[in-house]
Structure 1
Amino acid sequence: MHRSLSYRVKIARAAALVLALFAGASGLEAQSPTVPVTVDQDGTVHVPAMSVPVSSLSSPEAQAYVAEHLRQMQQPALLQQVNGVPVFMKPYLARQTALFAHKKVEATIGGVHVYDYAPAAGIAPANRHRVLINLHGGGFSGCFPGCAELESIPVTALGRVRVVSVDYREGPDHKFPAASEDVASVYRALLKSYPAKNIGIYGCSAGGMLTGMAMAWFDKHGLPLPGAIGIFCAGATTSAFGFGGDADFVAIPIGEARAAPAWPPAEPNAGTKLPYLAGTDPKDPLVNPGISDAVMRRFPPTLIITATRGFEYSSAVHTHAQLVRLGVDAELHVWEGLFHGFFYNPDVPESREAYDVMVRFFDRHLGRAER
């Protein structure tokens, strides 16, 4: 068919516009750094100083939250813990307490101190024979009850389910495998009242790591695995700098306002620097389950939650890929522009989305019937 000259001109103009848009999107014309990006023979990239705004894809509330978090991380006084609650987390805890009606009982289960949560509205009929175990964050060095409360209160209230948060032993006073032993003790005790398929285990940060470690521990010691688990703000791998991968270098500056670690490392083969794990073998699947296909293949349905500025992001993505490769029913949910443990603030829409994902995942995967 004959095409008019005006038609061909329009096509050419449209093509030029598309090329211009792609060039602008890639920053080829918008940015002309005076110091170029350079690449070593081994692929190490040297990036000049640059400015990174909050994500344009995040909600306005999340954008303000990220800006506040980055400022807070540069104020050491706000990072200090008072009675197990980091100062900057206190407003989040007060807000959660006001929003989510719940009951809390301090108890001992299997010889281990716990907080036992239930919704003020009562446990839903479908959850009468179910229980969730929370393993709190805090780098294996604190944040109980602060992190425990922030991870348990929304889930118990919104899910209308019992949540038991474990006050497991931490460093520097205790070393691996103390926390795994405590989780196993609580789990054994709950198995007397609940079938394994009706028990879910989840945690954020160190608690997410410990959730994966617990699966390896249970498997080695002949315990039945739970019905489902949640690895939040974490993955099943570790490194000397954090969780490993690109996020150790990319997400730490823009998510936590800390300088990226120096490269190459002074100790190339060093394992994690967490005091609790001092002296452990990074190739031990009880410490680092992500290195063992045999262990990971036995994981129950697994929910992984992270964010693009979370320093666990790479590990979370890698862990999900490994589980899928091994045939495990695994879900990965990533929130744009947010940081490590973002859902502690309940007034951010993305946090409410995360709570909903958690509640629905365990509802789908845990058994309902009594023994």
Structure 2
Amino acid sequence: MSSFQSYFFEKAIKLSVKKAVKKGIRERGIEEKREMLDMAASKMGKLPKNCQVVPLQLDGLYAEWLATGTTLPGKVVLYLHGGGYALCSANTHRPLAARIGKAAGVNVLFPEYRLAPEHPFPAAIEDAVNVYRWLLKQGYTENDIIFAGDSAGGGLCLATALVLRDQNEPLPAGIVCLSPWVDLTSSGESYQKNREIDPYLSVKAVMEAARMYAGTESLDHPLISPIFADLTGLPPLFIQSGTHEILQSDASMLAAKAKDANVNVSIKVWDGMWHVWQISGDLLPEAKKATREIGQFIKQIFKT
């Protein structure tokens, strides 16, 4: 059963989205949408206490090291943010990534991969693969690295791992997916079942983002929609999703597909939760608990 706080939190989200739609946010240009999201995030997101943010450049990409005090030195989470492959940045997702790092006791590397429509598929995957290879060149081994991402970032984690697998490169020790967007064809039942209760996402907006990212490629391309890929050989997978999001079927189908491929997979579907509720941080009991569980999974992987 969801918390008392979540009831009012979800109501507030719906009201905010309704106001934004009335102001014509959907008709704004992509750059203006990005600026609005960054501005909104700067007023809401708080970093964990004593978090250190160290900017760096990785082959032309902006990235950040996020350090909140390590209990597992020499280990790292490579975090890939969501935003439909077209929106969001370190400004919007830095607090979430840092809280995951704190819960796990590891540093986080947060790259800003290239975004659509300027850079459609496969630009984001190319960037993620290059950042992973950079980590290996710095002396980390595959057993020292876990991929984590939310929404499109979750799908990007999987696509990146699939590319590495197919090129016979070492795979990360595990993958964490928060409300993963892995079916850009929108074929799951939750797209219709939850379309009226999802406080954040609309089916129309998700389909438009899918087309923007895919460009000229088919939406069922296995690196665009990993539920259509052979997942054999992937590392342990940890998935969280909510019953109030239209992408809930993505998570369930991903878990089933991974299980069929003999991947070690764990999924938890949170009653009454919406898309990437974990980003709410200390404001929501469910967000704090979900982050703790992510940290526990990461610690378990690194200690085995």
Question: Could you say what secondary structure the match of 1:338 adopts?
Answer: coil
Distance 1:108 1:84 in 2: 24
Q: Is the 8 A contact 2:194 2:245 kept in 1?
A: yes
226 and 259 in structure 1: CA distance in 2 versus 1, 3 angstrom threshold: closer
Give 1:257 deviation, angstroms. Answer: 6.7
TM-score by length of 2: 0.88
Q: Is the 8 A contact 1:309 1:338 kept in 2?
A: yes
Distance 1:257 1:328 in 2: 31
Distance 2:303 2:60 in 1: 26
Distance 2:157 2:75 in 1: 18
The answer to whether the aligner puts 1:340 opposite 2:275 as a matched pair is yes
Pairing 1:195-210 to 2, within 5 Å after superposition: 195-210=141-156
RMSD: 2.3
90 and 228 in structure 1: CA distance in 2 versus 1, 3 angstrom threshold: same
The answer to whether the aligner puts 1:61 opposite 2:10 as a matched pair is no
Pairing 1:1-371 to 2, within 5 Å after superposition: 57-76=1-20, 81=33, 83=35, 85-93=37-45, 96-97=46-47, 99-119=48-68, 122-124=69-71, 127-192=72-137, 193-239=139-185, 243-256=186-199, 273-293=210-230, 296-346=231-281, 347-366=283-302
Distance 1:63 1:333 in 2: 20
Give 1:343 deviation, angstroms. Answer: 1.2
Paired letter, 1:181: E
TM-score by length of 1: 0.73
Between 1:229-238 and 1:163-172, the stretch displaced more is 229-238
Question: Could you say what secondary structure the match of 2:18 adopts?
Answer: coil
Give 1:104 deviation, angstroms. Answer: 0.4
Q: Is the 8 A contact 2:42 2:92 kept in 1?
A: no
78 and 131 in structure 1: CA distance in 2 versus 1, 3 angstrom threshold: farther
**Structure 2 alignment gaps of length 5 or more:** 26-31
Q: Deviations over 1:184-233 (max 9, x none)?
A: 11100101211101100011111111111111221223321100001111
Q: Which residue of 1 aligns with 2:29?
A: none
Give 1:110 deviation, angstroms. Answer: 4.6
Q: Which has the larger radius of gyration?
A: 1
Higher normalized helix content (fraction of residues)? 2
Q: How many residues align?
A: 292
Relative contact order, CA 8 A, sep 6+: which one is greater? 2
Q: Is the 8 A contact 1:234 1:312 kept in 2?
A: yes
Give 1:84 deviation, angstroms. Answer: 6.8
Paired letter, 1:355: T
Paired letter, 1:60: F
Distance 1:136 1:100 in 2: 21
82 and 188 in structure 1: CA distance in 2 versus 1, 3 angstrom threshold: closer
Q: Is the 8 A contact 1:135 1:202 kept in 2?
A: yes
158 and 167 in structure 1: CA distance in 2 versus 1, 3 angstrom threshold: same
Paired letter, 1:328: V
